[in-house]
Amino acid sequence: MSYPPLTQSYMSSNSDNSAKRVPPPAAPLPQSERGAGLVPDEQVAHSRAMALAVVKAAAENRGQEIVLLDLTGQTALFDFFVIASGSSRRQLTAMSSEIDRVLKTDFKERRMSVAGYEASRWIVLDYGSLVVHLFDEETREFYDLESLWADGRQVDISEIVAAASAQMAKLTE
């Protein structure tokens, strides 16, 4: 199976109608040049609370290999990534719906955008300071976001996942 490229190949036309490649954006600025500390601590705390709620919702919907990455020191675009896998399209859409419900109900947050919902191989939910990536197993392995964002700090979510798994086990008994 072939996959689309991770990022679009940007092309621009010159006067003779031939296309030339425009180089990708530059690497992120070092922490000292990026204006670190411009995001208020309250916003980071709110984003973290949202991310932990997303982890719980994904775990309660049988999400697999859930990872929470703290990217506050890597980019000013967002604070956290939640990455999770599902075993079917139905499961991925159920996780997506539950995450939306939890963030809307508990945090009064609405999704800014969604991508990939129709194909349900990689669903991206953008909440501004938090971006949620829901993958099927094959697509997650192919794109390997954890390696791309390896400079991010992985947050320990083992207790949340274990509690949600235990709760789900009780419900199925």
Check which CATH number belongs to the domain holding 45 and give it: 3.30.460.10
What's the token pair of residue 166?
């235990």
Cβ-count burial of 2 within 10 angstroms (0-12 exposed, 13-18 middle, 19+ buried)? exposed
Phi and psi, residue 9, nearest 5°:
-90, 110
Stated pTM of the model: 0.75
The mean pLDDT values, 10 residues at a time, for the chain of 173 residues are: 44 43 44 52 93 96 95 89 95 95 95 88 95 95 92 93 83 72
The b/e string for 141-159 (b: 16+ C-beta within 10 A; e otherwise) is: eebebbeebeebeebebee
Assess if residue 119 is contained within a domain.
Answer: yes
**Count of domains observed in the chain:** 1
Assess if residue 3 is contained within a domain.
Answer: no
Assess if residue 170 is contained within a domain.
Answer: no
Assess if residue 158 is contained within a domain.
Answer: yes
Assess if residue 10 is contained within a domain.
Answer: no
- Give the structural domain span for 133: 39-163
What's the token pair of residue 33?
């040049």
pLDDT at 12: 38
